[in-house]
């Protein structure tokens, strides 16, 4: 009876160690799999195809890697009253960080506190900046006080032309 008790005790210990070895082996496999995935990262590529541009050049001559989507938010501190349109205001947006080589396609919306900011339209644009003008009457002070920000996106080329 004593031998079987010792045998049973060692048997359980052996099974316990085998169990931990299997867990350790499983952890090693998981770690190795994770390292392999990190060495060969999965990349999801999107393709941007620009069908037409505001300036006259052939978009088919520019390869797809030359296209870029750039976006940002222009804060409300820079609102200015228009000198040419009475009662209107505008906000200049700097896109120099996008490094477009030509004028991109630009979309802009405005957000603010209390939904009392005027809609905007894009005018007077270049490859590194644009101005967003209010559609409705709004002063620069109102745009600043209501924290009317311009949320914008631009689609253009960063090489070629």
pLDDT digit string (tens) for 79-98? 999 998 899 999 999 999 99
The C-alpha atoms of residue 56 and residue 58 are separated, in whole angstroms, by 7
Asked if residue 157 lies in contact with residue 67, where contact means CB atoms within 8 angstroms, the answer is yes
Q: Which pLDDT score, from 0 to 100, does residue 36 have?
A: 55
- The neighbour count for residue 89, using CB atoms within 10 Å, is 24
| Averaged pLDDT, 136-156 | 93
More confident residue, 137 or 6: 137
Would you state the pLDDT for residue 65? 74
When comparing pLDDT for 23 and 99, which is higher?
99
Could you tell me the sign of the dihedral formed by the alpha carbons of 6, 7, 8, 9, in that order? positive
Which pLDDT does position 66 carry in this prediction? 81
Cα 107 to its chain centre, rounded Å, is 15
- What tens digit of pLDDT does each residue of 33-84 get? 545 545 555 445 556 677 777 665 566 666 667 888 999 999 999 999 999 8
d(CA 12, CA 1): 16
């Amino acid at each position: 009876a004593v031998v079987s008790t010792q045998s049973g005790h060692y048997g359980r210990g052996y099974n316990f160690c085998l169990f931990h070895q299997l867990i350790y082996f499983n952890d090693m496999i998981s770690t190795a799999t994770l390292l392999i995935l990190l060495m060969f990262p999965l990349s999801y590529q999107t393709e941007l195809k620009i069908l037409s541009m505001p300036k006259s050049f052939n978009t088919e001559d520019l390869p797809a890697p030359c296209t870029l989507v750039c976006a940002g938010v222009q804060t409300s501190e820079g609102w200015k009253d228009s000198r040419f349109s009475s009662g209107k205001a505008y906000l200049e947006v700097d896109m120099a960080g996008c490094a477009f080589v030509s004028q991109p396609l630009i979309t802009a919306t405005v957000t603010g506190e209390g939904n009392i900011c005027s809609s905007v339209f894009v005018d007077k644009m270049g490859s590194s900046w644009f101005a967003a003008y209010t559609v409705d009457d709004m002063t620069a002070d109102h745009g600043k006080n209501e924290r009317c920000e311009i949320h914008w996106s631009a689609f253009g080329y960063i090489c070629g032309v």
